[in-house]
Chain A
Amino acid sequence: MAKRIDAKNVDIYYGAFHAVQDVSLTVEPRTVTAFIGPSGCGKSTFLRTLNRMHEVIPGAYVKGSVTLDGTDLYAQGVDPVAVRRMVGMVFQRPNPFPSMSIFDNVASGLRLNGVKNKGVLSDAVERSLKAANLWNEVKDRLGRAGMGLSGGQQQRLCIARAIAVEPQVLLMDEPCSALDPISTLAIEDLINELKEQFTVVIVTHNMQQAARVSDRTAFFNLAAQGKPGRLIEVGPTDTIFSNPTEKATEDYITGRFG
């Protein structure tokens, strides 16, 4: 259930704007990889190319290749919808479907895949909510609206929704930036458990968070405003935080800029 991502010489454009330049990196299965870097450095943009979500914006396109266990996500004839069913995503702001109950939110991905059997659905919902550490809090009110939960619970609901379809990879785009410290802690604990099953890639602005949850860290930077973002350095989190190769990485991590 966990696959390896290889990105080779990825360039990302929005129309004429060159957003990200020449990124090559590998994400190992069953690890947590954190993307850090200043705002506008392209880390979220790059994350979105891993499940072809950036294509939603008109004019966006990618050069280079991204492979999932050797399968090119950008090959001719690959359906972005199929890619997104394999590579799940959790967003910055919790976004449960407002018109759906807790149960229906978690089941929504499976229903999109054509699962109709009630037993299969409720098993999957229970399993996903347990995996998202939310089951005990909501098991008595699965029929209530997902929007009635607290922000942190909503985000765990969104994680449950994403993992219910058993994706190969789980992408998280600043999943804690709209949450309070206690909810953040709950999500971080959850990420540690999730990596036993999934390949996790997380974008974060919080360097302590990157240090706490990730096995590997990639540092993105941009030369100047309007210039494309680039991958500066990627390596084991310990090394990046204690003994980075690049001066820019060290400056960023020690808080000298960004």
Chain B
Amino acid sequence: MTDTTRKPGQDGSTGISTVADPLGHADVDADRRDQTFDETPRELLEAGPAAADPSISPVHDEVARHSPVPVVEHHARPSRSADPDHAVASTGSGVKLASISRTGDLLFGGLTKGTAIVLVLLVAFVGIFLLVLALPSILADQDNFLTSRNWQVSGGDLRFGILGLLWTTVLSSVVALVIAVPVAVGVALSLTQYLPKRVAGPVGFLVELLAAVPSIIFGLWGLIVFGPFLGPIGTWIGDVLGFIPLFALVSDPKSTVFVAGIVLAIMILPIITSISKNVFEQTPRDQIEAALALGATRWEVIRTSVLPYGRSGVISASMLGLGRALGETIAVLIILSQPAPGSPFTPSIFAGGETFASKIANNASEFDTPSKTGAYIAAGLVLFVVTFVVNAAARVVADRGVK
């Protein structure tokens, strides 16, 4: 029962409408009034989000094109069918009603638009703040900012570079990811495919509770309990694979990138698990039945239907987890042993080191000169860019998966 005036070319049923009208009131005035109803909120909604953020506008455009129609119908139809004579007599009242709904939309639309703009500006300002404060120090840097591993920021000459920090940051996060993703996918699969509902509920809740544990607690636990426990394991791996530089035994096995990476893995496990679980749960029923009907076992159903469907979701979940691991500060700071100044660089996961975040946090109390502060802020800027890129990549992958 759509109206002939409504969204031409979008609705296959256009044109049948007047015939299908149960009361047969196909009068011109009522139709014109509906037109007023239709178009006012639509142009309003279409203009709104598009102006606020071009990247999300396609989605909102879709919503805007579809959603007002049924909503408007509710307003337009009852008055029309209940009192057709009135509708014929007073076209004016229709215009008045339309302007009321416009006020509400303007108010609320402006408010939401405003919050969106504030958010975008906030991110931009953080970036600009970092850039402005870091730039003088980067320009005064005697070493190459990107390829140096020195960190000499007090006294006369500035000689610093982020390579060492970048290496430790990325290495610990990659260790975390390599461990967390398989475990998280396994947990998500058992929660959605294997465990009965009454067990899966509480277990899923526990996993999400893990996300609520403050990172300082993980740090303490990693330092006092988990590190000493993992130490011998690390030593053993180092003994066997030590000829590869990545696994060479360098420093105290309790306080290595390896231990920090595993603690980070536990910290990012909940987010990856919970997103993966949500994706796996949404595997279309007909896909699962298609595999079952071919005589697939449960694992084969997972392989043919659940995993392909959830792939992009798992990837974007992993990248969100990676973003968190990159920026994690206090747990890493507590666990990692800081190498003595001037000690040689080692790529090993069984060495200590400093990440961007732990380096900044460790020295925040000593920001006494603008050039020194600027050097640390420059390190922060790199971290900001890296996490930004990782999260953007996660979004791209997630969006591609939806289509």
A residues neighboring B (CB under 8 Å): 51, 53, 56, 58, 81-85, 88-89, 91, 93, 95-100, 108-109, 112-113, 158, 161-162, 165
Contact = CB atoms under 8 A, between A and B. Distances in A.
Interface string B285-307: 01111111111110010001100
B127 interface: no
A218 to B, nearest CB: 21
B37 interface: no
B145 interface: no
B293 A97 contact: no
Contacts of A51: 293
B293 A84 contact: yes
Nearest to A55: B292
22 contacts: A53-B292, A58-B197, A81-B295, A82-B295, A84-B292, A84-B293, A84-B295, A85-B294, A88-B294, A89-B289, A89-B293, A95-B284, A95-B289, A96-B290, A99-B309, A108-B304, A112-B294, A112-B295, A112-B304, A158-B290, A162-B293, A165-B295
Contact of B286 (A82, A95, A100, A109): A95
B313 to A, nearest CB: 13
B308 interface: yes
Contacts of A97: 287, 290-291, 304-305, 308
Nearest to B196: A58
B295 A85 contact: yes
A165 to B, nearest CB: 7
Most buried by B among A85, A93, A108, A112: A112
Interface in B200-225: none
Contacts of B295: 81-85, 109, 112-113, 165
B85 to A, nearest CB: 40
B291 to A, nearest CB: 8
B280 to A, nearest CB: 15
Contacts of A58: 196-197
A58 B198 CA distance: 12
A98 B309 CA distance: 8
Given A97-B305, A98-B308, A112-B300, A161 B286 contact: no
B289 A161 contact: no
Contacts, number: 67
Contacts of B309: 98-99
Contacts of B196: 58
Contact of B289 (A53, A83, A99): A53
Interface residues of B, number: 21
Interface in B323-366: none
Given A99-B311, A112-B304, 19 more contacts: A53-B292, A82-B295, A84-B294, A84-B295, A85-B294, A85-B295, A89-B293, A91-B293, A95-B284, A95-B287, A95-B289, A95-B290, A97-B287, A97-B291, A97-B304, A97-B305, A99-B309, A108-B294, A112-B296
A81 B308 CA distance: 21
Contacts of A109: 294-295
A96 B287 CA distance: 8
B198 to A, nearest CB: 11
A58 B197 CA distance: 10
B339 to A, nearest CB: 46
Q: Which 9 A-B pairs have the closest CB atoms?
A: A85-B295, A99-B308, A89-B293, A95-B286, A109-B294, A84-B295, A95-B290, A81-B295, A81-B297
A96 to B, nearest CB: 8
Contacts of B284: 95
Contacts of A96: 290
Interface of B: 196-197, 284, 286-297, 300, 304-305, 308-309, 311
Contacts of B305: 97
A96 B309 CA distance: 13
Contacts of A84: 292-295
A125 B155 CA distance: 75
A158 B297 CA distance: 19
A6 B231 CA distance: 65
Given A97-B304, A97-B308, A161 B294 contact: yes
Contact of A53 (B287, B293, B311): B293
Contact of A98 (B287, B288, B291): B287
A99 B288 CA distance: 13
Contacts of B287: 95, 97-98
Contacts of B291: 97, 108, 112
B195 to A, nearest CB: 12
A93 B294 contact: no
Contacts of B297: 81
Given A98-B308, A98-B309, A112-B300, A56 B289 contact: yes
Nearest to B311: A99
B107 to A, nearest CB: 43
A43 B309 CA distance: 31
Given A97-B305, A112-B300, A91 B294 contact: no
A233 B289 CA distance: 30
A216 B290 CA distance: 27
Contacts of B290: 91, 95-97, 158, 161
B286 A93 contact: yes
A78 B393 CA distance: 48
Most buried by A among B293, B300, B304: B293
Nearest to B293: A89
A88 B295 CA distance: 8
Most buried by A among B290, B291, B304: B290
Most buried by B among A51, A84, A113: A84
Nearest to A94: B286
Nearest to B296: A112
A97 B288 CA distance: 9
Nearest to B284: A95
A89 to B, nearest CB: 4
Contacts of A162: 293-294
A84 B293 CA distance: 6
Nearest to B298: A81
A98 B312 CA distance: 13
